[in-house]
Amino acid sequence: MELINVTIDNKKIEVPKGTTILNAARNNNISIPTLCYFELKDMNITNKPGSCRICVVEVAGRRNLAPACITECLPDMVINTNNIRVLNARRTVLELLLSDHPTDCLVCPKSGKCELQDLAIRFGIREVSFTGDKSTHKKDESPAIIRDMDKCVMCRRCEMMCNTFQTVGALSAINRGFEAVVAPAFEEDLSRTACTFCGQCVAVCPVGALSEVDHSSKVIRAINDPRKTVVVQTAPAVRVAIGEEFGLKPGSIATGRMAAALRRLGFDYVFDTDWAADLTIMEEGTELLGRLTKYLAGDKDVKIPLLTSCCPAWVKFFEHHFPDMKDIPSTAKSPQQMFGAIAKSYFAEKIGVKREDMIVVSVMPCLAKKYECARDEFKENGNPDVDFSITTRELAALIKQANLDFNSLPEEDFDSPLGESTGAGVIFGTTGGVIEAAVRTAYEIYTKTDCPQIDFQELRGLEGIRSATIDFNGLPINIGIAHGLSNARQLLEEIRDGKSTFHAIEIMACPGGCIDGGGQPLHHGNSDIIKARWEAIYQADKNLPIRKSHENRSVQKLYEEFLITPCGEKAHHLLHTHYFDRHTQFEVNLDKINSK
């Protein structure tokens, strides 16, 4: 690695060639402020349009100030990051941004977590020198995402996530000059685009321009309705992230405290989506083995590879972009929806509550789940299997509002029966986890022998596309894994071109899977937080006594008492779904969703 000498603020330093001024400074404890710049290190996600101009520095000999985030250090460069010229420029630029920004910080969903607010505090802004017109754009509320583009600072992070990382292309810069804004083409509503509601735009938005649709007040109302029995389920990735909202270090496993908090919030039954994840494995694993057996017997019509279908953003993505392949993904519903279907049938019957008197709430790391539970096919006579889906952030806010001191809550267990789960259910929360859980079960069912290993390291990791071959007692099973829809697209195109050699592929839309879903606590570009959650997921798996879905006693009992057999008739009716060709159909019916 070639090293070069530069001087930053009179300090002579040596940096590798190709280092940006920003990184050179940061590595030497000089913290240059940034806004549009965004990077998830080691995850191949960067946004550096060099457009906000907050990070400008003075480079000796240059006419203009240079953006530190994209200017590379050159040999003997002399850089000044804090002289009056630089400070005045940065302050002026920040005041310009503030002059075109609403001042409703007190009621902004990002208040306290807003990077623009942080800058205003850091710069000690007391007054904005500029007055004048402010941008006005129409507010847009989709089933999952609220766009309040008057707050947009044109950092283009959302555009990068939507286009580069997800290849969805729902958001891009439109208009020009002062009217420029990131929006769907023709400033359409998001619900009339191919948006998958993955929520990654919300996850990276530095300000309050993009936020989730907040259902927490509806949940409070339901809890306080004496006629309703309110059941809650929590997704695996929530437990490894919610602690961050209460000052715990990233990667803290807060399962027990979360269960305690939910009980104190007044939910009648505190259950676990992990239980439904185990159920999903029974169905999806059986479906995989069924298809595989036919395939190995030479059936030309059977669809291989099987694609997982837990991720609603991914489902909407292939419905829009690969409708010709909509019979390839597993027909198994996602754990959220399996849970809802069983809660409102098997469990409601068990406790003698009528379907319409039961409210199922899910706590998800995800925004697309809000959209998923509102899909028509997941309703019975208009009554949805899952009534409300709230995010990790919304749950944290509910806990804070209820005066609960999260960190001093006792560790409590989930309720029975839909709260008992295995380690296989927990790892659904990260990329590779669903397929690993499936392998643990499918191996034993297929080979009728105990699996010699339980940790499949070859399926784990944070690379965008991974693959491994698992030996099913002499039968090599090729497995593909992708997270990020751009990576999914690549694997799908290979299938379409007949080049894919995989038997099963797991796909999740978000970086790292659900651990960095659009509903998780904001990471502000710190990929160490995502890695800590990732490690915590596998730790939570290890902590559990049972780690294979088919060994879940409660699930076994469900089949014995109710479903009879995986992929059987009853299971087919309650636990499987079908997909739609949305190639030219973008409309999401908001009336139906709002009428809930």
Partner 1 sequence: MADYKYHILICGGTGCRASKSEQITETFKNVLAQKGLNNEVQVVVTGCFGFCEKGPIVKMLPDNTFYVEVKPEDCEEIVNEHLVKGRKVERLLYVDPENKQRVSDSKHMDFYKKQLRIALRNCGFIDPENIDEYIARDGYEALANVLEQNNPAEAIETVKKSGLRGRGGGGFPTGLKWEIASKNHADQKYMICNADEGDPGAFMDRSILEGDPHSLIEAMTIGGFCIGATKGLVYIRAEYPLAIKRLEIAIGQAKEYGLLGKNILGSGFDFDLELRYGAGAFVCGEETALIHSMEGLRGEPTFKPPFPAQEGYLKKPSNVNNVETFANIPVIFNKGWEWFASIGTEKSKGTKVFALAGQINNVGLIEVPMGITLREVVFEIGGGIKNGKKFKAVQTGGPSGGCLTEAFLDTPIDYDNLLAAGSMMGSGGMIVMDETSCMPAVARFYLDFTVEESCGKCTPCRVGNKRLCEILDKITEGKGTLEDLEILKNLSQVIKDTALCGLGQTSPNPILSTIDHFWDEYLAHVTDKKCPAGQCKAMKQYIIDTDNCIGCTACARGCPVGAITGEKKMPHTIKQELCIKCGACYAKCKFNAISIK
**In whole angstroms, how close is the CB of 51 to partner 1 at the nearest point?**
5
Contacts to partner 1 from residues 33-52, by CB under 8 A: 49-52
Query: Please, which residue, 98 or 368, has the CB nearer to partner 1?
Result: 98
Query: Please, which residue, 153 or 468, has the CB nearer to partner 1?
Result: 153
The token pair that represents 102 in the structure block: 């609403």
Among 8, 73, 93, 509, binds partner 1 (CB under 8 A): 93
Query: Rounded distance, CA 100 to CA 97, Å?
Result: 5
Please confirm, yes or no, whether 514 is among the known catalytic residues.
yes
Please confirm, yes or no, whether 369 is among the known catalytic residues.
yes
User: Which window, 175-183, 210-218, 279-287, 493-501, contacts partner 1 (CB under 8 A)?
Assistant: 175-183
Q: Output phi, psi for 4, to 5 deg.
A: -130, 155
Count of alpha carbons within 13 angstroms of residue 306, beta-carbon side: 25
CA distances from 46 to 158, 164, 256, 346, 593 (A): 11, 10, 36, 47, 35
**In whole angstroms, how close is the CB of 146 to partner 1 at the nearest point?**
23
**What single string gives the DSSP state of each residue in 156-176?**
-HHHHIIIIIS-----EEES-
Judged by CB under 8 A, does residue 178 bind partner 1?
A: yes
- Per-residue 3-state assignment (H helix, E strand, C coil) for 560-582: HHHHCCCCCHHHHHHHECCCCCC
Please confirm, yes or no, whether 284 is among the known catalytic residues.
yes
Give every CB contact of residue 15 below 8 A, 6+ residues apart in sequence. Answer: 3, 4, 6, 23, 24, 27, 73
The token pair that represents 182 in the structure block: 């990131």
For the beta carbon of residue 256, count every other beta carbon within 10 angstroms: 15
Judged by CB under 8 A, does residue 56 bind partner 1?
A: yes
Judged by CB under 8 A, does residue 136 bind partner 1?
A: no
> What is the size of the binding site for partner 1 (CB under 8 A)?
38
Query: Rounded distance, CA 86 to CA 89, Å?
Result: 5
Give every CB contact of residue 318 below 8 A, 6+ residues apart in sequence. Answer: 307, 325, 326, 329, 488, 492, 579
Query: Please, which residue, 167 or 172, has the CB nearer to partner 1?
Result: 172
**In whole angstroms, how close is the CB of 101 to partner 1 at the nearest point?**
10
Using DSSP bridges, classify how beta strands 145-147 and 210-212 pair: parallel, antiparallel or unpaired.
antiparallel
Catalytic residue among 14, 377, 411, 587: 377
Radius of gyration of the chain (CA): 25
Please confirm, yes or no, whether 330 is among the known catalytic residues.
yes
Judged by CB under 8 A, does residue 143 bind partner 1?
A: no
Among 78, 173, 397, 451, binds partner 1 (CB under 8 A): 173
The token pair that represents 486 in the structure block: 């751009």
Measure CA of the first residue to CA of the last residue in the chain; give whole Å. 60
Please confirm, yes or no, whether 463 is among the known catalytic residues.
no
Amino acid identity for residue 12 in this structure? K
Judged by CB under 8 A, does residue 279 bind partner 1?
A: no
**In whole angstroms, how close is the CB of 444 to partner 1 at the nearest point?**
50
Catalytic residue among 212, 372, 420, 436: 372
Catalytic residue among 151, 369, 531, 548: 369
User: Which window, 22-30, 170-178, 196-204, 254-262, contacts partner 1 (CB under 8 A)?
Assistant: 170-178
Give CA 461 to chain center in angstroms: 17
User: Which window, 93-101, 225-233, 241-249, 407-415, contacts partner 1 (CB under 8 A)?
Assistant: 93-101
Query: Please, which residue, 124 or 132, has the CB nearer to partner 1?
Result: 132
Judged by CB under 8 A, does residue 526 bind partner 1?
A: no
Catalytic residue among 51, 191, 211, 330: 330
Judged by CB under 8 A, does residue 127 bind partner 1?
A: no
Query: Rounded distance, CA 539 to CA 431, Å?
Result: 15
**In whole angstroms, how close is the CB of 24 to partner 1 at the nearest point?**
17
Catalytic residue among 252, 514, 531, 548: 514
Query: Please, which residue, 181 or 288, has the CB nearer to partner 1?
Result: 181
**In whole angstroms, how close is the CB of 239 to partner 1 at the nearest point?**
40
Q: Output phi, psi for 379, to 5 deg.
A: -125, 150
Catalytic residue among 284, 319, 394, 420: 284
The token pair that represents 389 in the structure block: 């889906």
Q: Output phi, psi for 266, to 5 deg.
A: 110, 10
Please confirm, yes or no, whether 287 is among the known catalytic residues.
yes
Contacts to partner 1 from residues 97-126, by CB under 8 A: 97, 99-100
Query: Please, which residue, 132 or 545, has the CB nearer to partner 1?
Result: 132
Burial class (CB in 10 A: 0-12, 13-18, 19+), 63: exposed
Please confirm, yes or no, whether 535 is among the known catalytic residues.
no
Among 78, 89, 302, 445, binds partner 1 (CB under 8 A): 89
Among 27, 83, 111, 175, binds partner 1 (CB under 8 A): 175
The token pair that represents 89 in the structure block: 């420029």
**In whole angstroms, how close is the CB of 56 to partner 1 at the nearest point?**
5
Residues at the contact surface with partner 1, assessed by CB under 8 A = 49-54, 56, 64-65, 67, 70-72, 85, 88-89, 92-93, 96-97, 99-100, 129-133, 153-154, 172-173, 175-181
Annotated active-site positions, please? Answer: 284, 287, 310, 330, 369, 372, 377, 514
